[in-house]
Amino acid sequence: MGEPVLKMDDHFRYKEYKTWPEDERWELIRGEPFRMQAPSTAYQKLLLDLATVLNVWFKGKPCRPFIAPVAVLLQDQADQAEDEVDTIVEPDLLVVCDPEKVKHSGIHGAPDWVLEVLSPSTSWRDQTEKRALYEQHGVKEYWIVNPDTLDITIFRLEDGRFAKPEGASLKEPVPVGLFPGLVLSV
């Protein structure tokens, strides 16, 4: 279910996060650290296939796709200092349309589009805590993909809340609502 690795009373922030070993992947959710597991080869293949399509489709367009690992710092307030941010996630795939959010240290603020591929160690968090964070921070479209079945759950932001989720399958072409003309399938 993805239990936190460090069981300490400390509330961690970006200032601590950036001192942790570079060969380890972590997410912070409201100050609580979660170590990321190495994904399966099926997960990696799916991610690479989708990232390739995104990379080609966005070439020459103002929005930019990114693939994990890239830190996404979700600030509680717009003026919150970078070092004080206590929520840092690493979505599998994301698209950012505001170039001001793209910094050397990662993405500062909500991406426009996020896709998470489920894995045993992150599945629960992706479907609950991270879904709520993405909604709260204004991710316009959030896809959750099951790598075994290729089923997708799609959340679209409407009036500041995710609308009722839609289901689809990557076995068939699925249009990305946020980017007319972009269709994903495997």
Q: Residues 52, 124, 134, 143: is their CA dihedral positive or negative? A: positive
Any domain includes 6: no
SS3 141: strand
Lookup: tokens for 186: 């495997």
Any domain includes 2: no
Any domain includes 5: no
Any domain includes 8: no
Domain that holds residue 57: 14-184
CA angle 59, 61, 66 (to 5 degrees): 65
How far is Cα 43 from Cα 145, in angstroms, rounded to an integer?
Answer: 10
At 95 the pLDDT is 98
At 4 the pLDDT is 47
- State the total domains in the chain: 1
Q: Is the pTM of this model over 0.75?
A: yes
At 156 the pLDDT is 98
How far is Cα 155 from Cα 166, in angstroms, rounded to an integer?
Answer: 7
At 8 the pLDDT is 54
Any domain includes 58: yes
Task: Read off the CATH number of the domain in which 103 is found.
Answer: 3.90.1570.10
Q: Which pLDDT tens digits describe the chain residue by residue (186 residues)?
A: 444 445 456 899 999 999 998 888 899 999 999 988 888 888 899 999 999 999 999 999 999 999 999 999 999 887 889 999 999 999 999 999 999 999 998 999 999 999 999 988 888 899 999 999 999 999 999 999 999 999 999 999 999 999 999 999 999 999 999 999 999 999
Any domain includes 1: no
Any domain includes 151: yes
Any domain includes 89: yes
Cβ burial of 98 (10 Å; 0-12, 13-18, 19+) is middle
At 9 the pLDDT is 62
How far is Cα 143 from Cα 93, in angstroms, rounded to an integer?
Answer: 10
